[in-house]
Amino acid sequence: MKSSIKDKTEGTFHEVKGKVKEVAGKLTDNPKLQAEGSIEKNAGKVQEKIGEVKKVLGK
């Protein structure tokens, strides 16, 4: 699998996983889990963008 596709796929996975953690943290009133989810969601977005850049550059 191309590096760009792998990055986009993993980024999307982490973004969704982070969103689930964030919502779970809100529902359970757990600020630590909520913050962890937010961080993972944002990291996923960054990884997804890296995949898009790699695709444009042809890597």
Residues 6+ away with beta carbon under 8 Å from 27 = none
What does the domain layout of the chain look like in residue ranges?
3-57
Of 14, 15, 18, 13, residue with least CA distance to 33: 18
Residues 6+ away with beta carbon under 8 Å from 57 = none
The token pair that represents 15 in the structure block:
């973004």
pLDDT band at 3 (very low <50, low <70, confident <90, very high): confident
pTM: 0.82
Q: How far apart are CA 50 and CA 23, in angstroms?
A: 25
- Tell me the average pLDDT across 43-55: 92
